[in-house]
Amino acid sequence: MKKNSGTPSFGPKMKKVIGDMKKNKLWSKNDQIAVIACTNKPYDASIKDMKKLFDKKMYFPYPNYATRKLMIKHFIEEKVGHPLLNFPYETFAHVTEGFTAGSFRTTVDKVLNPARIQRLKDEPLKINELVNPLSNSICVFAE
């Protein structure tokens, strides 16, 4: 959802839910409550409204180049049982900026099925086998 699209974003819904909780006195001032909100579209949130709702914010950045390289290597080794010596991990890490660890995991699980794992000896894994399915998942950076 875009800010100017005319479609209400999740902010007003969240304000209403928390407002209803306060009105019904589900907690008192002495209670310690943690409300955790998560989004894959942080650029759609109204910073002004979020500051009113939450005392603190935590930002979990998307994986950088080195982390993406380690993650994909780990996910492939976990699935196959050994490292793939001829796979271009560096190139894959370079072209996958903006994707989450969950996207990598899902893609590896989808591509490296038991039949494909058996064929690895004869047909080495190519980067396009992972990039094409990954491109169908959501890249979460704002345009």
Give the pLDDT confidence score for residue 2 in this predicted structure.
Answer: 45
CA 83 – CA 129 distance, rounded (Å): 17
Residues 56-72 pLDDT 10s: 777 777 899 999 999 99
CA 4 – CA 122 distance, rounded (Å): 52
CA 92 – CA 90 distance, rounded (Å): 5
Q: What is the pTM of this model?
A: 0.64
Residues 37-58 pLDDT 10s: 777 676 777 777 777 777 777 7
Closest CA to 78 of 101, 102, 112: 112
